[in-house]
Structure formats: structure tokens, C-alpha cells
Amino acid sequence: MLPVLVGSHPESPWIEDCLKSIRTTTDRPITVHTIGGHEPFALRTGLQWGRFLFLQDSCRILDAAFWEVVDSSGPSFLFGRPAMFLGIYDSQHLRPLLPTEPVDKETSIRLEVELADSLGYPSIWPDVLDRTALRREHRNGRDNLVLGNELIEKHKGTWR
């Protein structure tokens, strides 16, 4: 059973829905990174485990079958490229690739591509992409592209 790391920030309008969706579908341990510094810095929190699942706070787990898929997968990204850092990570592979200090949004976006290239992980759901989005939805003060499938949804705010 993989531990779950959720990347968030103080006063996130997304976190409660995310945590509720996890807690109603599994009883596994959840750690929430709220220090900020964007995803690459948040991923450092997961280095305490050998393997872990990273989700962003704008994700919602829709069905308990999600955990069966995740637990039976090796290191991988959840969605197709760009994977938005969502994935199952092996700390040994990840550790040397992460910044030791918080980064800005521009650097985080650049590192998203570099990390995927360096790790070379496969994707569990490679057909989940911006161009196959489920819908657009205005929520929490922003226009979101909603990506996912019957097991998970991710509200993506940076997509234009």
C-alpha cells in the first residue's frame, strides 16, 4: 500500500475535496505538503519513503479501484505528457533530480518536462491528455480543464 503525498499550499480551496476523496476510497497514510515551492519542492517530502504516490490538491479520487491500479503499478506517471508531476515515484531515482530549495512557477513547469525525460517512467493512462479533457469547469476562481477518467479527475488551471 503506497503512501500518498498531496502537494498543496496554505489556504488551498482544493484540499478538503481532495482529502475527502482519498479518505472515502482508502485508509492509507496521507501526507500533505503545504509549505509551497511548487511541485518539485513538494516531491522532496516523499523522499522519506522508498516509493510513494504524488497527487496535487486539485485531484479527486472517484473510485476505490484507483488504488488497485496504483498499488499494482511500478514507478510511473498517472497521465500522458505533460504528466503534471502526478505519479508513483521511486525515491532513489527521484532524489538526485529535485531542487533543494523552493522554485517559482516558471521553473516548476520547465522541471515537469525535464523530470519526465530524466526518469523515463511509463504512463498508466497515456490517453489522459489536455486534448482528451473531460470538460472545462469554472471552479475556485479559475477556469479549469478537467482531465481524468472514471477513477480520478484533475482540475488543471495552467493549460492555455
Residue-level pLDDT at 37: 76
- 130 backbone dihedrals φ, ψ, rounded to 5°: -55, -45
How many whole angstroms separate alpha carbon 144 and alpha carbon 142?
A: 6
Per-residue pLDDT at 7: 94
- Tell me the C-alpha distance between 78 and 80, whole Å: 7
d(CA 106, CA 83): 16
Per-residue model confidence (pLDDT) at position 160: 47
| DSSP letters for 42-69 | HHGGGGGSSEEEEEETTEEE--THHHHH
Q: Which backbone phi and psi does 19 adopt, to 5 degrees?
A: -65, -40
- SS3 for 120? coil
pLDDT tens for each residue of the chain, 160 residues long: 899 999 998 888 999 999 999 999 999 999 999 887 789 889 999 999 999 999 999 999 999 999 999 999 999 999 998 889 999 999 999 999 998 888 888 899 899 999 999 999 999 999 999 999 999 999 998 999 999 999 999 999 865 4
Q: Where are the domains of the chain?
A: 4-128
